[in-house]
Homo-oligomer: A and B are copies of this chain.
Amino acid sequence: MTLKSSPAAVGAPFLRIQEVASELGLTTRSIRYYEELGLLSPAGRSDGSYRLYDASDVDRLRFIKGLRDDAGFSLAEINQLLEDEAARAKSREAYSHTGDPAERRAIASDALNRVERQARILRDKIARLESMVAAVEARRSRLKARLADLDAGGPGEIA
Q: Which residues of A contact B (CB under 8 A)?
A: 56, 63, 66-67, 70-74, 91-92, 95-96, 101, 104-105, 108-109, 111-112, 115-116, 118-119, 122-123, 125-126, 128-133, 135-137, 139-140, 143-144, 146-147, 150-151, 153, 157-159
The 16 listed contacts between A and B (C-beta, < 8 Å) are A56-B159, A66-B128, A70-B125, A70-B129, A70-B131, A70-B132, A72-B72, A96-B157, A96-B158, A101-B153, A105-B150, A108-B146, A115-B136, A115-B139, A118-B136, A122-B133
* List of B residues within 8 angstroms of A146 by Cβ: 108
- Complex contact B71–A132 (CB within 8 A): yes
- Complex contact A66–B132 (CB within 8 A): yes
* List of B residues within 8 angstroms of A133 by Cβ: 119, 122-123, 126
